[in-house]
Homo-oligomer: A and B are copies of this chain.
Amino acid sequence: MTAAAPSPSAGTPDNGAPSVAVIGGGQLARMMAQAAVALGVPLRLLAEGPGVSAAQVVADTTVGDYTDLETLRTVAEGCSVVTFDHEHVPTAHLHALSEEGHACRPGPGALVHAQDKAVMRARLTELGVPCPRHAVVHDAEDVARFAESVGGFPVVLKTTRGGYDGKGVWVVGSAAESGDPLAVAAAKGVQILAEEKVDFRRELSALVARSPSGQVAAYPVVESVQQHGICWEVVAPAPDLDPELSVQAQQIAMTVAGELDVTGILAVELFETRDGRVLVNELAMRPHNTGHWSMDGAVTGQFENHLRAVLDLPLGSPQARAPWTVMVNILGGDHGELSRDLYAGYRHVLARDPQLKVHLYGKDVKPGRKVGHVTAYGDDLDEVRERALHAAAWFRGDLGDESE
């Protein structure tokens, strides 16, 4: 690890491989690093602090602030491509880097649609992509007017920037309840987007990798099960999905990727409505939790395809290797010392299921925090789900001796 200069252990070998700068040291960067090992592509990491998830496994790590342009420049220098673990790098800095000749992938023109929900809704509507009805609101009267236009309360209010994993999202039952969200937005200097509360059957995710040359690889559409606003379980492919809706979801993802000039992974989170439509909920322009199943369940995992895409290499097959793959997040439990010792969970989990794949992120365990995920695959969905859910529950400490 170094303050600024690249580590002497991470010299580019004499085999032509370019270096990739990754901004952000979370688990997505960690899993990119794993894919980069196989590809023989050197990574340079900008991490938020020493010892964060990806910094543990990337030799060429700089600790610094991604909101500081000079730091970004230093890390980008000498790398062929700059890509991201998260969407929080200031848009202005991305423009500056791009203008100075650094290939940011995705670029700022694309990334703003994953950073600002109002910009995203406006653009998708322009493209004819089906979305929930929406409006930017400035006060309680706007909220009341919007509610009336969509058939009444409840409606959903979201900050246009900065929300994730259920943060910055409110469901309000009256105009009066919009006070808090409006105050939060005002304090943060962002706007509030109002959206109809969609009567959805379930949530889907359509993931594609797209390269600067325009090649696209579309992963099977998956079902994503949320718990308290956090992605919890993903089933690939989405069970009993109408083939037409599946194609439509993939087409939406390809359209969005192409029209917005996304490079790398684009995840389109969708609502499947009870009346048989798909509506875009959110966009993410990076490897996504709903694509983790692909590491063990697809021919080419999303992290490998993200790197291949940002490097403009031909993309790998996104097809599934088994009829069913289920990914379940390991969330930190609230059982004190026992929950913290994830490693101890291996003794039971691995012995019970020799086919299970486990990914731990090297994070300190805190209640509700994503600290890893498990993946099971096979021919029988019920059995595959049971295996993955059991393992994740065990790691969380919900099934251990202390509950007996």
Q: Chain A residues in contact with chain B, CB under 8 A?
A: 1, 7-11, 13-18, 30-31, 33-34, 36-40, 42, 47, 50-51, 55-59, 61, 63, 217, 299-300, 308, 313-317, 321, 340-344, 346-347, 350-351, 354-365, 371-372
Contacts of A10 in B (CB 8 A): 51, 55-56
If A16-B340, A33-B57 touch, whether A358 touches B38 (CB-CB below 8 Å) is yes
Note all chain B residues with C-beta closer than 8 A to A38: 34, 357-360
Q: List 24 A-B contacts (CB under 8 A).
A: A1-B9, A8-B51, A9-B56, A10-B55, A11-B56, A13-B364, A14-B364, A15-B363, A15-B365, A16-B341, A16-B342, A17-B343, A18-B343, A34-B37, A36-B57, A38-B359, A39-B358, A40-B359, A40-B360, A40-B362, A57-B59, A315-B350, A316-B350, A316-B355
CA gap between A61 and B13 in the complex, in Å: 17
Contacts of A59 in B (CB 8 A): 1, 55-59, 61
* A217 partner residues in chain B, CB cutoff 8 A: 354
B39/A56 in contact, CB under 8 A:
no
**A8 proximity list for chain B (CB < 8 A):** 1, 50-51
Q: What is the bound-complex CA distance between A317 and B8, given in angstroms?
A: 38
B residues in contact with A321, CB < 8 Å:
321
Contacts of A308 in B (CB 8 A): 350
